[in-house]
A and B are shown apart, each in its own frame.
Chain A
Amino acid sequence: MLEISAEVWQAARLTLALAATTTVILLIVGTPLAWWLARSKAWWTEAVATVVALPLVLPPTVLGFYLLVALGPNGPGGWIAGAWGGRTLAFTFSGLVIGSVLYALPFVVQPIRNAFMAIGDRPLEVAATLRATPRRAFWTVAVPLARPGFLTGAVLGFAHTVGEFGLVLMIGGSIPGRTRVLSVAIYDFVEASRWYEANILAAGMVIFAFVVILAMTMIEKRSARLRP
């Protein structure tokens, strides 16, 4: 039987906690943002969409660098941290969550936005002519019809957070139990020539990625069958 050290488990638990927290926050923040991007007719909509999409192109270290500055003791992050007696958000779990949310935002917002746009105006107009308030139309028509977009967005957001390295290293460092996630742990193990642990983690990530992509494809196929 494989022997898995406590360090590996610790990193895995931390990674899952980070990815789960990030995904929940992403859905809460990303849904209204995606809705607005899908429905707004303002000329600057695409400018906002571009800002949201920036992490797709930027090296994670660039985003990490700016976040480090912003979250550090002299940035707004330090100021916020001061509210509950901390000195900085950098090298904390909260700091990692903020960074991960920003980094994975496009992976969540874009599928949801596309799903909202694919619905078109008609179902919402029908709901309005059936006395549904805009709020009720959103919850009972737009969200259920955009469900495949939500699933894709959530899976992508979760997976990208699990896999992120550069950004995490920049703003989190590698503090065991606090900021040392799987991808950083692999790097540390390799540095320390602990190939066995690195191997277990790397193989685990390959299996994880395989399962995620397979699951997503199946979900999409299934929901395509349910559409008329």
Chain B
Amino acid sequence: MTTSTAGAPGCIAVAFRGDVGQFHLDAAFTVPAAGLTAIFGPSGCGKTTVVRCIAGLQQLPGSFCAIDDEVWQDAAQFRPPHRRSIGYVFQEASLFPHLSVRRNLLYGAPRAPLAAGREVIGFDEVVSLLGLGALLERAPHNLSGGERQRVAIGRALLSQPRLLLMDEPLSALDQSARAEILPFLEKLHERLALPAFYISHDIAEIEQLADHLVLMERGKVIATGPLHELQSDPTLPLALAREAAVSLDADVEAYDSADALVTLRVGDSRLLVPAKPKVAGARQRLRIAASDVSLARIAPNGTSILNILPARIVSCSTIGPGERLVVVGLGTEGNGPRLLSRITHRSWDTLALAEGMAIFAQVKGVSLIAGSTAPG
């Protein structure tokens, strides 16, 4: 945790302390200034306050905030929000009702050219990325909830931010509008090298979008790190949850069109997953739930399960009266990416499993995120 007085290059470092309404906020973390960092925690744990402090909309004296080498707040200074290069997407779209979609989009567009070396996010690019072409001359009150939120995201991007802040942008939307926006957020993430914070209390959104994770609880940060690392840490609530899963970023290695199976490489392990045609070399995020992974001491044969991967037991924790959560590392040495497996006490005892033991992880289900969900 950094509370130094200078910004660290390539990092976003914050430390916010102070009384906020009902609780005491004490949130300090440093994350890379790249990719999407999700802030996750139960409602009312201070996530929104942290993001408002980063934006400068709320001021907690004695706090610190630095993006890359730019210090936005420390003991000596507080930069007002309009002088911070942020794009803020609020929970409700908050479009200006008196301006057309086009004028909303352009409201924050810089009137002077940007400093050299900063890539410009073009108007046409944003319009096509977010599918806004047909909406440009419309008034905000004639748009659906999903359309409004897309305009709000576009408006934030066109202010040419160095950091995008999104405060549960999907939570005010119904299921179909969410499904409409999530692919846009993913495209955004792929196409723009723009660091972003994304608040959510919906783990599915985080599994789909996040690279890094800040876990919060009652005003405190309880863990910070790469998503996959926190998901597979048995001391954190994520791994112990009923719907625990890990997200992995895989490379598409080959596609077998005869059987409609894609070969995905994660570390040194390979997974076969039924899927629509994929291009070799593409990146693919997958989700493997703890309940879809079982363990075997010897490689089983005569099974319908395609993915049986050598692995090593890293740790084991009790998660209920009859069950254990086992963390395994893929690869014969167990130093590859980690998976979670939920098994019964009886299986653990019957198989005489132990930490450090080489085993086989049988993966029954792999979800390809941003694509079809299918059993493996």
Contact = CB atoms under 8 A, between A and B. Distances in A.
Interface of A: 122-123, 125-134, 137, 140-141, 144-145, 226-228
B108 A228 contact: no
Contacts of B159: 129-131
Contact of B98 (A126, A129, A134, A145): A145
Interface in B93-122: 94, 96-98, 107-108, 110
Contact of A126 (B80, B83, B88, B110): B88
B55 interface: yes
Nearest to B158: A130
A129 B96 contact: no
Contacts of A126: 88, 90, 94, 96
B57 A132 contact: no
Nearest to B140: A228
Contact of A132 (B85, B97, B107, B141): B107
Contacts of A132: 82, 107-108
A41 B303 CA distance: 70
A225 to B, nearest CB: 10
Contacts of A140: 107
A145 B140 CA distance: 14
Interface string B69-87: 0000000000011110111
Contacts of B82: 127-134, 137
Contacts of B86: 129
A130 B108 CA distance: 4
Given A130-B82, A226-B97, 11 more contacts: A122-B92, A125-B57, A125-B81, A125-B90, A126-B96, A129-B156, A129-B165, A131-B82, A131-B83, A132-B107, A228-B141
Contacts of B94: 122-123, 126
A128 B82 CA distance: 5
14 contacts: A122-B94, A123-B94, A126-B90, A126-B96, A129-B55, A129-B82, A129-B86, A129-B159, A130-B108, A130-B155, A131-B110, A132-B107, A134-B82, A145-B96
Contacts of A137: 82
Contacts, number: 61
Contacts of A130: 82, 107-108, 155-156, 159
A128 B87 contact: no
B144 to A, nearest CB: 12
B97 A129 contact: no
A204 B56 CA distance: 56
Nearest to A120: B94
Contact of A128 (B81, B90, B97): B81
B106 to A, nearest CB: 10
A228 B97 contact: yes
Contacts of A145: 96-98
A123 B97 CA distance: 9
A144 B104 CA distance: 14
Nearest to B108: A130
Nearest to B83: A131
Nearest to B57: A125
Output the residue of A122, A126, A128 with the most chain B CB within 10 A. A126
A129 B57 contact: yes
A191 to B, nearest CB: 51
Contacts of A128: 56-57, 80-82
A122 B55 CA distance: 13
A130 B80 CA distance: 12
Nearest to B159: A130
Nearest to A147: B98
Contacts of A226: 97
A126 B152 CA distance: 10
A130 to B, nearest CB: 3
Contact of B96 (A133, A134, A141): A141
A228 to B, nearest CB: 3
Contacts of B87: 129
B107 A127 contact: yes
Contacts of A125: 57, 81, 88, 90
A131 B90 contact: no
A29 B242 CA distance: 63
Nearest to B111: A131
Nearest to A228: B141
A144 B107 CA distance: 14
B155 A144 contact: no
A227 B97 contact: yes
A141 B94 CA distance: 12
Contacts of A127: 82, 107
B52 to A, nearest CB: 9
Interface string B138-182: 001100000000000001100100000100000000000000000
